[in-house]
Structure 1
């Protein structure tokens, strides 16, 4: 175990907080899975716990593998994967599967192994890396609106347009994070304002078209509207029902909670192990448990900020911002939905909610971030080693000069010469040290 820990390179703070969040997830997932077992009559609680353990184990395997790859390799990889992701999104749009009898047009089923996969999660990673690549490439070049529309915003809007009909919340989050990333990357504000205006106009046109011709293409516009309506009024509905149960769970938890596994609302919340798991955490572990989870996410956010500040290259800084910040914002959105601060979005709690692809994509993002911090540590270690060698060499040269001076003084006084110490010895620190 000690050897394994020593092999973990990169920011130790990020490793620590990610591991703590993963460890915290086991008890809530185990407890909340009772809803799927006793209400829906599917599987067993131990089976869901083992499944979640496997997902977490694979996720950390992905972090370990990805963080070993030098992060600059992702520059070219993002350009190659962007068309692949677009094709996957088209396939998802046309062939989205059904999970447990519910529409799941944002998911596809991987052939042969039967695992469902949310392609928008992969698209988010590839798109953020692509945007970071473009901004880093244009760091010392003038950016024109025309060229950026073709090379930057064209691919962004194509990816978002393929995600939007089935998953508005993910598309909106991705567009917000891309806008934040280009702002941090120095993209001209006057151009960014125009792009945001174009995006809002395109969204309005899509909504109007979907309302006028509802059967023209698969979309969830009516679902979006109903969620907003449920959020703004108290009429009964499926989303309002879930939010009310989540609020009851949070109120029941109090300060210290009812105890691990003793949640009652998990039997009534349809998404108790995924979208509304934060409510189960607060019910069982109280306000202290909820604040602990929030604290870990905020500390992870702080480590992202520190790592981005330390990164020497603009591409490295933008990778950390573009891949790390969405994880934190997604967590805050999930908590906001559970406490009715935001309308229902379907966003999971990263590293805690059950689900394979969401955990794996989050782990890939973290692996890339750690790869950036690992490279910066390697650079810092090389600089320190060089400084140490120079310090040793300077010390030996000073000693050589002192010996020469003593030799001259001894000769002038007619005293026997001290032990010889050549310039060659001073120029070879290792031999000089070993000789001493």
Structure 2
């Protein structure tokens, strides 16, 4: 593909020349690790629950193929299509998240999933990317339209999302979306004082969650006081990293997958540490860091405020999700059931992360002659509404 002629004007050729190929390659690497680690971790988990050894592998291969297609096709979208998809996707995800409160599956005291044939869907996963696009449009559109209440509408939508996620409850997802929103407000120009006030309110809300929700209190107390509660999963994961050492015990030689019920999902990073060692784990961290840092550096040269605010929100959510998963596995933060993007098992996670990266690639493509209004440019003076 790198040898595509400059005179080739097909859509695929123009896409390849305009896309951030380094980020695309990094995504391919993560999908490859997702497949390898699913081969390593999932058979033992499937046998333990009485299912076919290949059940999780077959499902995840389908999810990863679908995720790769979503990344490619989403990255081809124009700015106009990104904004439209953001609104449509946000409304659908919001409605589906509300439906979990009525017809959702209850697991460990939380209603976050809707049962579908062959899989269950967590609609709140899709709120993250679409919320970032919608709020970016609201915050930046008020710069071109007088009296447009973009900030108020964005805050109202955030409050609605907060109410829904608190009702499930899903404090981890709410924390990620709150961080994304505060990042976007800061990038949009909100004063550091007000952003700090928002962060302080977030800390106060976390303290409230600690007081109200028993599972939050349990996780925090187990993190702060090693002698309190059940530490089986964390202790087992940390032993797995110790057993793996620098180069790992070798593919298929790990033991953590036989001991942890979530070895294929929330603790898949521990499987990587035991079987492939610290060097491979550092390489995975480096791939995630490359995607985040490279995207943020590209925004330094971006003139379109919508692209800047939307992309910053999207990549913040992506990077934070990876950090929370790896940090909780290494006992750097309290445990939180959050997947490792493209690597952990899960259809909702794989597709929502694919949407996130696809939107990032679509927003950061090189677009000579295309501004915030798409390839046709801004509306003419005769088309503008009178001020």
2:322–2:339: 8 Å Cα contact kept in structure 1?
A: yes
- Cα displacement (A) at 1:73: 2.7
What is the aligned counterpart of 1:152 among 131, 151, 154? 154
Matched, 1:355 2:336: no
1:227 maps to 219
Matched, 1:137 2:141: yes
- Cα displacement (A) at 1:104: 5.2
Question: 2-side partners of 1:41 and 1:311: how far apart?
Answer: 52
Question: 2-side partners of 1:197 and 1:299: how far apart?
Answer: 30
Q: TM-score, normalised by structure 1?
A: 0.76
1:96–1:104: 8 Å Cα contact kept in structure 2?
A: no
Q: Which has the larger radius of gyration?
A: 1
Question: 2-side partners of 1:65 and 1:171: how far apart?
Answer: 28
Question: 1-side partners of 2:64 and 2:362: how far apart?
Answer: 19
1:187 maps to 190
Matched, 1:177 2:177: no
Map Cα deviations across residues 21-65 of structure 1 (whole Å, 9 max, x no partner).
111122211111133233222221x33222211111101111122
- Cα displacement (A) at 1:164: 2.4
- Cα displacement (A) at 1:75: 2.6
2:29 maps to 20
2:242 maps to 251
After superposition, the Cα gap between the structure-2 partners of 1:250 and 1:105, relative to the gap in structure 1 and judged at 3 Å, is same
User: Greater CA deviation, 225-234 or 183-192?
Assistant: 183-192
1:107 maps to 113
1:218 maps to none
Question: 2-side partners of 1:343 and 1:138: how far apart?
Answer: 39
Question: 1-side partners of 2:209 and 2:274: how far apart?
Answer: 40
- Cα displacement (A) at 1:378: 4.2
Q: Secondary structure at the match of 1:105?
A: strand
1:316–1:372: 8 Å Cα contact kept in structure 2?
A: yes
Q: Secondary structure at the match of 2:248?
A: coil
Question: 2-side partners of 1:268 and 1:143: how far apart?
Answer: 59
1:35–1:270: 8 Å Cα contact kept in structure 2?
A: no
Q: Secondary structure at the match of 2:262?
A: coil
Map Cα deviations across residues 186-226 of structure 1 (whole Å, 9 max, x no partner).
12344444545555566666776xx4xxxxxxxxx111111
Question: 2-side partners of 1:61 and 1:35: how far apart?
Answer: 29
2:132 maps to 128
1:97–1:103: 8 Å Cα contact kept in structure 2?
A: no
2:41–2:268: 8 Å Cα contact kept in structure 1?
A: yes
After superposition, the Cα gap between the structure-2 partners of 1:79 and 1:35, relative to the gap in structure 1 and judged at 3 Å, is same
2:279 maps to 288
Q: Secondary structure at the match of 2:40?
A: helix
2:384 maps to none
Map Cα deviations across residues 314-348 of structure 1 (whole Å, 9 max, x no partner).
11112221111211121111111111011111111
- CA RMSD, 1 decimal: 2.7
Question: 2-side partners of 1:21 and 1:83: how far apart?
Answer: 30
User: Greater CA deviation, 155-164 or 243-252?
Assistant: 155-164
Q: TM-score, normalised by structure 2?
A: 0.85
Matched, 1:33 2:36: no
- Cα displacement (A) at 1:307: 2.8
Q: How many residues align?
A: 360
- Cα displacement (A) at 1:129: 0.9
**Mapping of residues 40-119 of structure 1, within 5 Å:** 40-44=49-53, 46-98=54-106, 105-110=111-116, 113-119=117-123
User: Greater CA deviation, 255-264 or 64-73?
Assistant: 64-73
